[in-house]
Amino acid sequence: MTTIGNNLQQVRTRLDAACTAAGRDAGSVSLLAVSKTFGPEAVREAALAGQRCFGENYVQEAVEKMALVAAMQLPHALEWHCIGPLQSNKTRLVATHFDWVHTVDRLKIAERLSDQRPDGLPPLQVCIQVNVDGGATKAGVAPDEAVALARAVARLPRLALRGVMSIPDAVEGFDAQCAVHARAHAVWVAVRDALAEDGVGGVDTLSLGMTADLDAAVRAGSTMVRVGSGIFGGRHYPAA
Protein backbone atom coordinates (compact mmCIF):
# COMPACT_ATOMS: atom_id res chain seq x y z
CA MET A 1 0.00 0.00 0.00
CA THR A 2 1.14 3.59 -0.57
CA THR A 3 2.25 5.84 2.26
CA ILE A 4 -0.94 7.85 1.93
CA GLY A 5 -2.98 4.65 2.01
CA ASN A 6 -1.16 3.52 5.16
CA ASN A 7 -1.58 6.90 6.79
CA LEU A 8 -5.29 6.88 6.01
CA GLN A 9 -5.68 3.47 7.58
CA GLN A 10 -3.87 4.68 10.71
CA VAL A 11 -6.04 7.78 10.95
CA ARG A 12 -9.18 5.68 10.58
CA THR A 13 -7.95 3.34 13.32
CA ARG A 14 -7.20 6.32 15.55
CA LEU A 15 -10.65 7.74 14.84
CA ASP A 16 -12.35 4.45 15.73
CA ALA A 17 -10.31 4.25 18.95
CA ALA A 18 -11.29 7.82 19.84
CA CYS A 19 -14.95 6.94 19.27
CA THR A 20 -14.68 3.86 21.48
CA ALA A 21 -12.91 5.84 24.21
CA ALA A 22 -15.68 8.43 24.07
CA GLY A 23 -18.43 5.80 24.22
CA ARG A 24 -19.50 6.56 20.66
CA ASP A 25 -20.12 4.23 17.73
CA ALA A 26 -17.15 3.60 15.45
CA GLY A 27 -18.04 5.22 12.15
CA SER A 28 -20.10 7.99 13.76
CA VAL A 29 -17.44 10.58 12.88
CA SER A 30 -16.67 11.24 9.24
CA LEU A 31 -13.21 11.95 7.93
CA LEU A 32 -12.42 14.90 5.69
CA ALA A 33 -9.00 14.57 4.03
CA VAL A 34 -7.43 18.03 3.81
CA SER A 35 -5.43 18.00 0.60
CA LYS A 36 -4.39 21.67 0.44
CA THR A 37 -0.90 22.16 -1.03
CA PHE A 38 -0.84 18.54 -2.27
CA GLY A 39 -1.31 17.72 -5.92
CA PRO A 40 -3.89 15.63 -7.78
CA GLU A 41 -1.71 12.51 -7.48
CA ALA A 42 -2.01 12.63 -3.69
CA VAL A 43 -5.79 13.00 -3.97
CA ARG A 44 -5.87 10.05 -6.33
CA GLU A 45 -3.88 7.86 -3.91
CA ALA A 46 -6.23 8.72 -1.07
CA ALA A 47 -9.28 8.12 -3.25
CA LEU A 48 -7.98 4.72 -4.33
CA ALA A 49 -7.56 3.92 -0.62
CA GLY A 50 -11.29 4.58 -0.20
CA GLN A 51 -11.38 8.28 0.76
CA ARG A 52 -14.30 10.21 -0.71
CA CYS A 53 -14.39 13.67 0.96
CA PHE A 54 -11.62 16.21 0.50
CA GLY A 55 -11.06 19.64 2.06
CA GLU A 56 -9.34 22.57 0.40
CA ASN A 57 -8.46 26.07 1.65
CA TYR A 58 -7.34 27.95 -1.43
CA VAL A 59 -10.08 28.30 -4.03
CA GLN A 60 -7.95 28.75 -7.14
CA GLU A 61 -5.65 25.88 -6.23
CA ALA A 62 -8.65 23.69 -5.48
CA VAL A 63 -10.49 24.37 -8.73
CA GLU A 64 -7.41 23.56 -10.80
CA LYS A 65 -6.88 20.36 -8.80
CA MET A 66 -10.52 19.31 -9.23
CA ALA A 67 -10.20 19.48 -13.02
CA LEU A 68 -7.02 17.39 -13.00
CA VAL A 69 -8.57 14.83 -10.64
CA ALA A 70 -11.75 14.63 -12.73
CA ALA A 71 -9.62 13.73 -15.76
CA MET A 72 -8.19 10.76 -13.81
CA GLN A 73 -11.54 8.92 -13.94
CA LEU A 74 -11.46 7.63 -10.38
CA PRO A 75 -13.72 4.70 -9.46
CA HIS A 76 -16.01 6.87 -7.28
CA ALA A 77 -17.12 10.49 -7.23
CA LEU A 78 -15.39 12.82 -4.78
CA GLU A 79 -17.01 15.39 -2.51
CA TRP A 80 -15.18 18.73 -2.17
CA HIS A 81 -15.37 20.87 0.98
CA CYS A 82 -14.17 24.47 1.12
CA ILE A 83 -12.58 25.05 4.53
CA GLY A 84 -10.63 28.26 3.82
CA PRO A 85 -11.53 31.89 4.44
CA LEU A 86 -14.12 33.24 1.96
CA GLN A 87 -13.72 36.46 0.04
CA SER A 88 -16.54 38.04 -1.93
CA ASN A 89 -14.64 37.85 -5.20
CA LYS A 90 -14.27 34.05 -4.84
CA THR A 91 -17.84 33.10 -3.97
CA ARG A 92 -18.87 32.34 -7.55
CA LEU A 93 -16.03 29.83 -7.98
CA VAL A 94 -16.89 28.26 -4.62
CA ALA A 95 -20.63 28.07 -5.40
CA THR A 96 -19.89 26.50 -8.78
CA HIS A 97 -17.28 23.92 -7.83
CA PHE A 98 -17.70 22.84 -4.21
CA ASP A 99 -20.24 20.57 -2.51
CA TRP A 100 -19.75 22.01 0.99
CA VAL A 101 -18.52 25.24 2.59
CA HIS A 102 -17.50 25.15 6.27
CA THR A 103 -16.48 28.78 6.69
CA VAL A 104 -19.64 30.90 6.40
CA ASP A 105 -19.29 33.64 9.02
CA ARG A 106 -21.37 36.49 7.63
CA LEU A 107 -24.71 36.78 5.90
CA LYS A 108 -23.44 38.73 2.90
CA ILE A 109 -21.17 35.85 1.88
CA ALA A 110 -23.98 33.35 2.39
CA GLU A 111 -26.33 35.40 0.20
CA ARG A 112 -23.77 35.53 -2.58
CA LEU A 113 -23.20 31.76 -2.37
CA SER A 114 -26.94 31.13 -2.57
CA ASP A 115 -27.43 33.56 -5.48
CA GLN A 116 -24.50 32.08 -7.36
CA ARG A 117 -25.19 28.37 -6.78
CA PRO A 118 -25.97 26.97 -10.26
CA ASP A 119 -29.53 25.70 -10.74
CA GLY A 120 -28.52 22.25 -11.92
CA LEU A 121 -26.63 21.46 -8.71
CA PRO A 122 -28.05 20.40 -5.34
CA PRO A 123 -28.05 23.08 -2.63
CA LEU A 124 -24.61 23.98 -1.29
CA GLN A 125 -24.12 22.34 2.12
CA VAL A 126 -22.86 24.91 4.62
CA CYS A 127 -21.58 25.22 8.17
CA ILE A 128 -21.38 28.39 10.24
CA GLN A 129 -17.81 29.03 11.39
CA VAL A 130 -17.68 29.98 15.06
CA ASN A 131 -14.78 31.67 16.84
CA VAL A 132 -14.80 30.10 20.29
CA ASP A 133 -11.46 31.32 21.59
CA GLY A 134 -9.99 34.10 19.51
CA GLY A 135 -9.90 37.86 19.39
CA ALA A 136 -11.78 40.14 17.05
CA THR A 137 -9.32 39.53 14.20
CA LYS A 138 -9.91 35.78 14.02
CA ALA A 139 -12.34 34.35 11.44
CA GLY A 140 -15.70 33.09 12.63
CA VAL A 141 -18.84 34.52 14.16
CA ALA A 142 -18.97 35.13 17.92
CA PRO A 143 -20.71 32.29 19.80
CA ASP A 144 -23.63 34.47 20.85
CA GLU A 145 -24.27 35.51 17.23
CA ALA A 146 -24.21 32.00 15.77
CA VAL A 147 -27.91 31.19 16.17
CA ALA A 148 -29.08 34.40 14.47
CA LEU A 149 -26.71 33.87 11.54
CA ALA A 150 -27.70 30.20 11.25
CA ARG A 151 -31.39 31.13 11.15
CA ALA A 152 -30.78 33.67 8.37
CA VAL A 153 -28.62 31.24 6.39
CA ALA A 154 -31.21 28.48 6.68
CA ARG A 155 -33.72 30.72 4.88
CA LEU A 156 -31.55 31.09 1.77
CA PRO A 157 -32.96 28.99 -1.08
CA ARG A 158 -29.82 27.47 -2.58
CA LEU A 159 -28.03 26.64 0.69
CA ALA A 160 -28.61 23.76 3.11
CA LEU A 161 -27.49 24.50 6.65
CA ARG A 162 -25.65 21.48 8.05
CA GLY A 163 -24.10 22.75 11.27
CA VAL A 164 -21.16 24.46 12.87
CA MET A 165 -17.42 24.46 12.28
CA SER A 166 -14.61 25.75 14.47
CA ILE A 167 -10.80 26.01 14.35
CA PRO A 168 -9.66 26.60 17.92
CA ASP A 169 -6.07 27.69 18.43
CA ALA A 170 -3.72 24.80 19.19
CA VAL A 171 -3.49 24.06 22.90
CA GLU A 172 -1.42 21.38 24.64
CA GLY A 173 -3.03 18.47 26.38
CA PHE A 174 -6.20 16.44 26.00
CA ASP A 175 -8.16 18.13 28.79
CA ALA A 176 -7.39 21.66 27.61
CA GLN A 177 -8.37 20.68 24.06
CA CYS A 178 -11.61 19.13 25.31
CA ALA A 179 -12.44 22.31 27.22
CA VAL A 180 -12.20 24.55 24.16
CA HIS A 181 -13.93 22.02 21.93
CA ALA A 182 -16.79 21.80 24.39
CA ARG A 183 -17.54 25.46 23.65
CA ALA A 184 -17.92 24.69 19.94
CA HIS A 185 -20.16 21.75 20.83
CA ALA A 186 -22.37 23.99 22.95
CA VAL A 187 -22.79 26.42 20.05
CA TRP A 188 -23.67 23.55 17.73
CA VAL A 189 -26.32 22.25 20.14
CA ALA A 190 -27.81 25.74 20.43
CA VAL A 191 -27.93 26.11 16.62
CA ARG A 192 -29.40 22.64 16.11
CA ASP A 193 -32.09 23.17 18.75
CA ALA A 194 -33.02 26.64 17.51
CA LEU A 195 -33.37 25.42 13.94
CA ALA A 196 -35.40 22.40 15.08
CA GLU A 197 -37.78 24.87 16.75
CA ASP A 198 -38.07 26.60 13.39
CA GLY A 199 -38.85 23.25 11.76
CA VAL A 200 -35.46 23.03 10.00
CA GLY A 201 -33.93 19.56 10.21
CA GLY A 202 -30.69 18.20 8.85
CA VAL A 203 -28.41 20.16 11.18
CA ASP A 204 -26.24 17.14 11.84
CA THR A 205 -22.63 18.30 11.52
CA LEU A 206 -20.06 19.59 13.98
CA SER A 207 -16.86 20.07 11.95
CA LEU A 208 -14.18 20.04 14.62
CA GLY A 209 -10.73 18.54 15.11
CA MET A 210 -7.54 18.28 13.06
CA THR A 211 -4.52 15.94 13.15
CA ALA A 212 -3.28 17.23 16.50
CA ASP A 213 -6.54 17.33 18.40
CA LEU A 214 -8.96 14.91 16.77
CA ASP A 215 -9.18 12.63 19.84
CA ALA A 216 -10.36 15.51 22.03
CA ALA A 217 -12.71 16.72 19.29
CA VAL A 218 -14.34 13.28 19.11
CA ARG A 219 -14.72 13.27 22.89
CA ALA A 220 -16.39 16.69 22.66
CA GLY A 221 -18.90 15.50 20.08
CA SER A 222 -17.37 16.25 16.69
CA THR A 223 -19.11 14.55 13.78
CA MET A 224 -16.49 15.43 11.15
CA VAL A 225 -12.74 15.78 11.64
CA ARG A 226 -10.54 17.55 9.10
CA VAL A 227 -7.18 15.80 8.80
CA GLY A 228 -4.35 17.01 6.56
CA SER A 229 -0.81 16.27 7.72
CA GLY A 230 -1.83 13.00 9.37
CA ILE A 231 -2.77 11.68 5.92
CA PHE A 232 -0.59 13.53 3.43
CA GLY A 233 2.47 14.44 5.54
CA GLY A 234 3.96 17.85 6.32
CA ARG A 235 3.01 20.80 4.14
CA HIS A 236 5.46 23.03 2.31
CA TYR A 237 4.12 26.44 1.45
CA PRO A 238 5.74 28.20 -1.49
CA ALA A 239 7.53 31.39 -0.46
CA ALA A 240 5.19 34.34 -0.75
Ligand X SMILES: *Cc1c(COP(=O)(O)O)cnc(C)c1O
Closest residue to ligand X, based on beta-carbon distance: 228
- Please choose, out of 114-122, 185-193, 195-203, 227-235, the segment that lies near ligand X by the rule CB under 6 A: 227-235
Find the part of the chain contacting ligand X (CB under 6 A) among 5-13, 88-96, 109-117, 204-212.
204-212
Q: Which residues pair with 85 in a beta bridge?
A: none
Among 127, 178, 210, 216, binds ligand X (CB under 6 A): 210
Residue 132 DSSP label: S
Which of 100, 9, 97, 3 is closest to 50 using CA atoms? 9
Residue (126 or 195) nearer to ligand X, CB: 126
CB 86 within 8 A of CB 103: yes
**Inter-residue contact 34 to 225 (CB < 8 Å):** no
Query: Can residue 226 be called a binding residue for ligand X (CB under 6 A)?
Result: yes
Q: In this chain, which of 20, 64, 229, 233 binds ligand X, going by CB under 6 A?
A: 229
Q: Return the range that interacts with ligand X (CB under 6 A); candidates 64-72, 118-126, 141-149, 208-216.
A: 208-216
Q: Tell me which residues in 139-178 interact with ligand X (CB under 6 A).
A: 167
DSSP state of 198: T
Whether 7 contacts 232, CB under 8 Å: yes
What phi and psi, each to the nearest 5 degrees, are found at residue 43?
A: -65, -40
User: Which stretch, 40-48, 138-146, 171-179, 223-231, contacts ligand X (CB under 6 A)?
Assistant: 223-231
Output 162 or 195, the one with its CB closest to ligand X.
162
Residue 224: CB atoms within 10 Å: 24
Beta strands in 86-135 (DSSP E): 100-104, 124-129
218 contacts 29 by C-beta, under 8 angstroms:
yes
Closest contact distance (angstroms) between CB of 230 and ligand X is 6
Restricted to residues 21-50, the positions that interact with ligand X (CB under 6 A) are 34, 36
Return the number of the residue (30 or 57) whose C-beta is nearest ligand X.
Answer: 57
Interface with ligand X includes 116 (CB under 6 A)? Answer: no
**Residue with Cβ nearer ligand X (87 or 229):** 229
The amino acid sitting at 83 is I
Report yes or no: 80 and 35 within 8 Å, Cβ to Cβ. no
Residues that bind ligand X (CB under 6 A): 34, 36, 57, 83, 167, 210-212, 226-230
